[in-house]
Amino acid sequence: MRTDIPGTLEVPMRRDLAASPTIDNAYALLASSPHFRYGHHGLTIREDADGSLEIDGRVMSYFLKQAVQEAIRPLGVTIVNRVNVA
């Protein structure tokens, strides 16, 4: 997969073996977003004890930071967006 395309993201290949269905659904929604068709470089999604999702990583613009959050919003859970803009 190319990683030199500006503004692209990549889901890390290594995930916890006991990943929850909510996290799997969040990664699937992110992968289906047209803004991330080339991958999800360096983003991680974790589920907190209260059921909220915390997103970490780095993107190339504030637009993509918001797009990450909006891509997984259909899950209906609280989203803590800790994504940094490079």
Tens-digit pLDDT profile for residues 40-73: 667 999 999 999 999 999 999 999 999 999 999 9
Predicted confidence at residue 4, as pLDDT, reads 47
30: its two tokens: 């992110």
Instruction: Identify the domain containing residue 55 by its residue range.
Output: 21-85
- Residue 72 inside a domain? The answer is yes
* CATH code for position 43: 3.30.1340.30
- Residue 12 inside a domain? The answer is no
- Residue 8 inside a domain? The answer is no
Q: How confident is the model at residue 38 (pLDDT cuts 50, 70, 90)?
A: confident
- Residue 5 inside a domain? The answer is no
The DSSP code sequence of 23-39 is HHHHHHHHHHSGGGTT-
Q: How confident is the model at residue 35 (pLDDT cuts 50, 70, 90)?
A: confident
- Residue 10 inside a domain? The answer is no
Please tell me the chain's helix, strand, coil percentages from 3-state DSSP, rounded to the nearest 5. Answer: 35, 20, 45
Number of domains in the chain: 1
